Amino acid sequence: MERITAGELAAWLADARREKPVLLDVREPWEFEKARIEGATLMPMRELPSRIAQIDETKEVVAICHHGGRSMQVAMFLEKQGFKRVHNLVGGIDAWSRTVDPAVPLY
């Protein structure tokens, strides 16, 4: 699992030459409604084991949560399931709001 900062993710998403990663938001639906990164897919952590087949393991995956703890657990789980290109967003959506997009609400 690789760690990625909010700034690094923003640069990646802005780079037209790079394939976009799967933005896997593992928070709860109420959190996703409150604040999210455009283009992210909601898959709450508790649903991941039953929905893992919905994630394209050939693509790079960036796991996202509120502060980076749940997403780190998800990233490690995905690696154990055979995913090779998994990243954890350090600081989560909170870091994204503070350093990349202040229009995304803090909570």
Out of 35, 61, 65, 89, pick the active-site residue: 65
Task: Decide: helix, strand or coil at residue 100.
Answer: coil
Task: Look at residue 37 in the predicted model and tell me its pLDDT.
Answer: 98
What H or E segment, with its residue span, contains residue 23?
Answer: strand 22-25
Helix axes 92-99, 6-14, angle to 10 degrees: 70
Between CA 55 and CA 66 the distance in angstroms is 20
Based on the residue annotation, tell me whether 50 is a catalytic residue of this protein. no
Residues 6+ away with beta carbon under 8 Å from 98: 6, 91, 106
All structural domains of the chain: 2-99 (3.40.250.10)
Q: What is the pLDDT of residues 40-89, one digit of tens each?
A: 999 999 999 999 999 999 999 999 999 999 999 999 999 999 999 999 99
